[in-house]
């Protein structure tokens, strides 16, 4: 591949048949991987070592045995969840999050009013995994013997296999609460480096096995589900032990990182050297770098740092046909289609991403939160459009509609002092009575600024000046910070809802600016109509926020939930309604997905 690329580099932009053939040969070489088999074999025998000589995995936040720390049939950590305590008050358990141990005094009233739910009507989910319900592992002995010879760690344990049989789609979690999957991986294998993955893929080809790459397990596109009809052995290739930073290049501000590292560990390790990626999807605690690449992910601070496609410099991927990678690590190439764009968004269907070289930046000197209240959603969207037009968006700017504002307010913890309560009341009086904002119509934007302190303060003033032109009022740092804090706990709410006959899910789209308002309104109205037609007895919650802004459009993120009491097959009903909502999105000029994948 390298020789062919060098030959093509001298051909310039000419259109001769010979140069065209050379370019096609380069491209096909990328897709096939290197044809030089001896090099591949030599690569397979290389030791797994990072910069500094370290071999084997780093100590990560998520253990190899995920069941030691994470829920088997719900989101997140075992010790973190929303509950209703003995007094009937909502609270969030554990000490991992700022909300941990706090009482949420208005949440019970909100959930009863919004969904018609009652603490007296509670569902019963399975308390623990019954290994007798787990489908047996079917692996041929010849493959197992070859695998043992590689000295690569593996497991056929029922718990290990179930933990890697699913992502976090609603129907997957519902199945785990009510029953069991009919087909799950037969074996889990833990490579510790790129060379291990090469060996595993070669063995899979030799023995005609299926491989499903597994990163952080946060998929919401059914990419980890095993087809019921698949008769071949299914391997879950768990990349979690490939979690090292191989090198950091401080001159070019790049880092080569193994694909199995999860977001929180990547940021921690980079911070030790004074750097960050700035890529923070809502799932960053658990999702992996390889998963971000495979799903073409987006982070909440993309306005400064970019989406994953903007951060990636180089990808190494192992396929059944060889190793796919570019022959250099440069910011841009023009010789044919970019192979990275074949890989990003492929969701594990083409191969296993093993190493990624990404852009890094110095950890920002200063960070400041903020928030703005608008009299209505229309004014808020107009403000975000103007901010995008002037290209002065902060690291993150997110506009929530009124329903989501009320939702967030219901999650507000009990205040610690009378003085704080008095101040909150004073702010509410000022906004609703003095300024005349209707609390049932107003909406809120949360802001996050990062960078040099002086520039952040200048930037902050520019954004607030724009907001003022659209009727916005500064609502303080606390509201902004709380909004971002909720980002990491909101996913835990679905498990609580399922305990009380409420099912919910999120979906997102990207849409041109001139279609944002119509799309938001029409999708919500369509969901309400579909719920009535499908026999949902209680009004649904349908809310949205504008989470990402671009020159030509925005990402809109929807939450949708309803009380399913009286419905015999709630998942089927939910999927019908969601399908209708997505049809409405397409009819209104939106995309099927902005960052969750297909």
Give the SS3 label for residue 450: strand
Q: Which tokens go with 455?
A: 């520039």
Rounded to 5 degrees, φ, ψ at 77 are -75, 145
DSSP characters over 159-206: HHHHHTS--S-HHHHHHHHHS--S---SEEEE--SHHHHHHHHHHHHH
Q: What is the DSSP letter of 551?
A: S
CB 508 within 8 A of CB 595: yes
Q: Is 557 a catalytic residue?
A: yes
Active-site residue, from 557, 559, 564, 574: 557
Give the SS3 label for residue 260: coil
DSSP characters over 13-82: T---HHHHHHHHHHHHHHHH--S-HHHHHHHHTS--B-TTS-BS----SS-SSGGGTB-SSSSSBTT--E
Q: Is the dihedral of CA 579, 227, 210, 264 positive or negative?
A: positive
Question: Rounded distance, CA 235 to CA 46, Å?
Answer: 24
Question: Rounded distance, CA 440 to CA 512, Å?
Answer: 27
Give the SS3 label for residue 495: helix
Q: Which tokens go with 467?
A: 């907001």
CB 258 within 8 A of CB 243: yes
Rounded to 5 degrees, φ, ψ at 3 are -65, -45
Other Cβ atoms closer than 10 A to 44: 15
DSSP characters over 310-355: HHEEEEEEEETTEEE--SS--S---SSS-THHHHTT-TTSS-EEEE
Q: Which tokens go with 323?
A: 């190793």
Rounded to 5 degrees, φ, ψ at 597 are 90, -175
CB 363 within 8 A of CB 276: yes
Question: Rounded distance, CA 471 to CA 443, Å?
Answer: 11
Query: What amino acid positions are annotated as catalytic residues?
Result: 557
């Amino acid at each position: 591949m390298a020789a062919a690329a060098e030959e093509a580099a001298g051909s310039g932009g000419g259109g001769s048949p010979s140069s065209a053939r050379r370019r096609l040969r380069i491209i096909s070489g990328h897709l096939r991987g290197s044809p030089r088999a001896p090099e591949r074999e030599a690569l397979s025998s290389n030791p797994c070592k990072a910069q500094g000589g370290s071999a084997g995995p780093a100590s990560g936040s998520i253990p190899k045995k995920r069941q030691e720390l994470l829920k088997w049939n719900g989101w997140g950590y075992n010790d973190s969840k929303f509950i209703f305590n003995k007094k009937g008050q909502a609270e969030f358990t554990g000490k991992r999050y700022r909300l941990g141990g706090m009482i949420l005094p208005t949440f019970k009233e909100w959930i009863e009013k919004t969904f018609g739910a009652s603490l007296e009507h509670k569902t019963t989910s399975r308390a623990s995994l019954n290994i007798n319900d787990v489908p047996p592992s079917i692996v041929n002995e010849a493959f197992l013997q070859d695998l043992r010879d590689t000295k690569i760690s593996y497991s056929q344990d029922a718990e290990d296999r179930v933990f890697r049989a699913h992502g976090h789609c609603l129907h997957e979690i519902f199945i785990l609460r009510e029953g069991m999957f009919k087909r799950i991986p037969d074996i889990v294998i833990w490579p510790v480096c790129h060379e291990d993955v090469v060996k595993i893929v070669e063995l899979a080809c030799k023995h005609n096995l299926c491989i499903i790459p597994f990163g952080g397990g946060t998929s919401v596109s059914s990419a980890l589900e095993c087809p019921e009809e698949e008769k071949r052995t299914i391997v879950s290739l768990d990349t979690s032990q490939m979690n090292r930073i191989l090198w950091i290049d401080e001159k070019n501000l790049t880092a080569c990182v193994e694909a199995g590292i999860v977001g929180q560990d990547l940021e921690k390790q980079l911070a030790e050297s004074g750097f960050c990626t700035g890529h923070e999807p809502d799932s960053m605690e658990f999702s992996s770098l390889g998963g971000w690449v495979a799903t073409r992910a987006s982070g909440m601070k993309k306005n400064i740092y970019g989406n994953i496609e903007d951060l990636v410099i180089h990808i190494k991927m192992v396929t059944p046909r060889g190793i796919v990678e570019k022959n250099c690590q440069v910011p841009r190439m023009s010789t044919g289609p970019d192979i990275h764009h074949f890989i990003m968004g492929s969701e594990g269907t083409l191969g296993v991403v093993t190493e990624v070289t990404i852009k890094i930046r110095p950890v920002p000197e200063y960070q400041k939160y903020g928030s703005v209240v608008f009299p209505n959603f229309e004014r808020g969207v107009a403000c975000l459009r103007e901010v995008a037009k002037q290209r002065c968006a902060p690291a993150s700017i997110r506009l929530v509609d009124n329903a989501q504002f009320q939702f967030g307010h219901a999650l507000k913890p009990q205040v610690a002092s009378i003085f704080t309560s008095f101040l909150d009341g004073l702010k509410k009086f000022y906004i609703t009575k003095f300024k005349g904002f209707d609390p049932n119509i107003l909406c809120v934007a949360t802001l996050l600024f990062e960078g040099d302190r002086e520039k952040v303060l200048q930037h902050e003033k520019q954004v607030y000046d724009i907001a003022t032109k659209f009727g916005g009022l500064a609502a303080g740092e606390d509201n902004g910070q709380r909004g971002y804090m909720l980002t990491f706990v909101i996913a835990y709410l679905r498990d609580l809802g399922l305990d009380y006959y409420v099912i919910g899910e999120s979906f997102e789209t990207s849409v041109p600016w001139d279609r944002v308002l119509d799309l938001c309104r029409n999708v919500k109205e369509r969901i309400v109509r579909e719920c009535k037609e499908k026999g949902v007895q209680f009004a649904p919650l349908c809310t949205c926020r504008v989470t990402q802004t671009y020159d030509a459009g925005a990402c809109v993120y929807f939450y949708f939930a309803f009380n399913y009491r009286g419905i015999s097959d709630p998942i089927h009903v939910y999927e019908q309604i969601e399908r209708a909502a997505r049809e409405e999105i397409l009819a209104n000029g939106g995309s099927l997905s902005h960052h969750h994948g297909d």
